[in-house]
Structure 1
Amino acid sequence: MSDNEEKKNQDASMEEGAADLTETVKLRPPAPEGERGLGGATSSAEVSPDAETVFRSIELFEALAPEEVREVVGACDQLNVAAGEELFQQGDEADALYIVESGELQVRARTPAGEDVVLAVLGAGSVVGEMSLIAGGPRSASVEVIGDASIFKLGRDSFDELRAQKRPAAYKIILRLARILGERRRQTDARVEEVFEDPAQYLDSFETQVHEMLGRLKKA
């Protein structure tokens, strides 16, 4: 075989190889942005503007950039829950945080005396169970849906996966949560100081609460 013929054969083989490679690439296109897992931010097409607005209005997420908000929303499960259903009961394992997009929730707890007390009614933009992201333990209250609700559930497992992948959004949430808890502690301490600085101002209301508590204990 002449040198020219050998070169032609080599060129033909290279062209065939290039054609095969082109077809292989076509069969494995890059995944669309909206189909990425937790390792990449979800596209805005997957996250409704309303959902993003709700998340950005919540103190826990206000430090996140828009793409980080979309990433956190993408890590959530969206639930449509009918009135009368419970998200969880007092004593259940705390394994998820819930964000209310629409609807109403009722938070209630059973006292040691056995009385069922309504603690709060929460609407759109409310968050329930922040501490579940960093700590387990039993739920301190029950939460029931009292108006058909659209709710985002951020499980601790999903949040831990964001942390494991070193996503900045997860660490921003932890820092914000620490600040929120610190502020709540300061408010509690300030309230205690007010009572001790001028206890007479609070004696009447405190005495009433003591009598009510004793009455409940006698009934138990």
Structure 2
Amino acid sequence: MTQSSLTAAFIQGILGASSLVLGASLGVFWQQSKSFSAAVMAFGSGTLLSAIAFEITIPVYRESGFLPLLVGFIVGGSLFTGLTQYIDQKGGFLRKLASSRRYLLEHRQEQVSDILNRIAHIEVIQNLPARERQAIAPFLKPVSVQSGEVLCQEGTPGEYFYMIVEGEAEVLKNQKVVNTMGPGEVFGEMSLLTGEPRSATVIARTPMELYQLHQQHFNNVLTWSPHMAWALSRSLARRLQFSTDSRIAVEENLDRWRQQLIDRVELDLLITEDPTTLQGLVKRSAPLAIVIGTLIDNIPESAVIGMNAGEGHFGWSFLLAVFISNFPEALSSASGMKQAGAGKIQILGLWIGVMLLCGFCAIAGYFLQSNTPGLLVAIAQALSGGAILAMLASTMMPEAYELGGSSVVFSTILGFLLGFFISSSHI
């Protein structure tokens, strides 16, 4: 072990992580395009796959056989997955789009479950398929009103559809009470369906708990949920029995509304992201947890760089793969930290700190390679390889495909071939 070898390991670790600072710097001042991020991540994924195959898997197999690979890859993948899940729960989810997406879906699922429990007795919800109920729930806004408050005013434009969870309301037409509604019933859909002013006034008879659906979301729900459209038609038909309209006119209107709804039905139920929810999740993210999560992502890579430095050759393929893969991660993470309110100096300072820590991780990898029996070194290298594969499978590759679609295939292939070309010089 020499001072020059330690210095080389540290410099190589710094070099591999230097793209974190570069990506963070651009993320603070520039809003990157999705296609650019997708191409870089896909290319980096390809080079990392090549590096894992030729810089880790083949050397470990030649030196120690298959068992260290099996143990190391399984343990490394498990450790990486467990640690990153913990960090995400502590606010580090914003460091990558894929982890942000997972956290958003989990957070939304908790909200959806609570809403579904509260509206289970609503007449138009009871017979909906589970998938349609879950698609509707995120758009429902809870509303509390006191006795005597006006919920709908006869003759005014309609903007909301209501579901009654608790309490009672009176329906007035021409200032006369024509009906009373209670838990499980709905109102306000007629005006939204026809585009005409409210046909009656609805006043809270007691304190009430309701869920409110805006007209824009109401239209989307009917597009996604044919069962909801039929349920509203039946509910509307029953309510119109209390009105003075002609029964023939009612039936003609119902047929027309049903046909319009059927014509608009789409088979795919797409859940759009609510900007308000996303802003709330950004505020809940923790810059320190983001950095710790990124460091966990880079510890296996830096350790392998240090181990390679100790073997007497400069791992260009692996360094290139690490450099490219770190860039888009820091780019998107810095943008998210900026949205969360972190200052530019704070963001850049944190990423410079991560880069330096990666250098020390490379030194640790060099020490491990120099002072540990060959079998344990092989297991450590395989453990790092498993962690890197877990990172690729859970974040980089899904995120690249989500941003760029099938076009990322060619970037991944090019990255893999470049990694192979560089690695082949010392295979």
TM over 0.5: yes
Distance in 2 (alpha carbons) for counterparts of 1:181 and 1:81: 24
Using the aligned pairs only, state the percent identity: 24
Whether the aligned pair in 2 keeps the contact of 1:76 and 1:153 (CA below 8 Å) is yes
The equivalences for 1:94-173 within 5 A come to 94-110=158-174, 116-162=175-221, 168-169=224-225, 171-173=226-228
Structure with more helix by fraction: 2
Tell me which residue corresponds to 1:208: none
CA drift at 1:159: 2.1
Please tell me the residue identity of whatever aligns with 2:100: P
Q: Indicate whether 1:27 and 2:95 are aligned.
A: yes
Tell me which residue corresponds to 1:113: none
Please tell me the residue identity of whatever aligns with 2:228: I
The 1:19/1:80 distance shift into structure 2, 3 A limit, reads: same
The 1:132/1:62 distance shift into structure 2, 3 A limit, reads: farther
SS of 1:134 mapped into structure 2: helix
Q: TM-score, normalised by structure 1?
A: 0.58
Gaps of 5+ in 2: 1-8, 28-92, 242-246, 249-427
Structure with more strand by fraction: 1
Whether the aligned pair in 1 keeps the contact of 2:190 and 2:236 (CA below 8 Å) is no
Tell me which residue corresponds to 1:16: 17
CA drift at 1:162: 4.3
Q: Indicate whether 1:74 and 2:75 are aligned.
A: no
Distance in 2 (alpha carbons) for counterparts of 1:184 and 1:145: 18
Distance in 2 (alpha carbons) for counterparts of 1:17 and 1:63: 56
Whether the aligned pair in 1 keeps the contact of 2:152 and 2:188 (CA below 8 Å) is no
* Larger relative contact order (CA 8 Å, sep ≥ 6): 2
The 1:47/1:136 distance shift into structure 2, 3 A limit, reads: same
Tell me which residue corresponds to 2:155: 91
The 1:137/1:63 distance shift into structure 2, 3 A limit, reads: same
CA drift at 1:106: 0.8
The 1:117/1:97 distance shift into structure 2, 3 A limit, reads: same
Q: Deviations over 1:1-33 (max 9, x none)?
A: xxxxxxx9xx86884378779x99972332324
SS of 1:101 mapped into structure 2: strand
The 1:141/1:184 distance shift into structure 2, 3 A limit, reads: closer
Gaps of 5+ in 1: 1-7, 37-41, 111-115, 190-220
Q: TM-score, normalised by structure 2?
A: 0.33
Whether the aligned pair in 1 keeps the contact of 2:155 and 2:199 (CA below 8 Å) is yes
CA drift at 1:130: 2.5
CA drift at 1:63: 3.4
SS of 2:111 mapped into structure 1: coil
CA drift at 1:76: 1.6
Distance in 1 (alpha carbons) for counterparts of 2:165 and 2:235: 21
Q: Indicate whether 1:57 and 2:127 are aligned.
A: no
Tell me which residue corresponds to 2:230: 175
Q: Deviations over 1:38-69 (max 9, x none)?
A: xxxx31x21464x4245333342233233432
Tell me which residue corresponds to 2:281: none
Whether the aligned pair in 1 keeps the contact of 2:163 and 2:184 (CA below 8 Å) is yes
The 1:134/1:91 distance shift into structure 2, 3 A limit, reads: same
Distance in 1 (alpha carbons) for counterparts of 2:233 and 2:212: 20
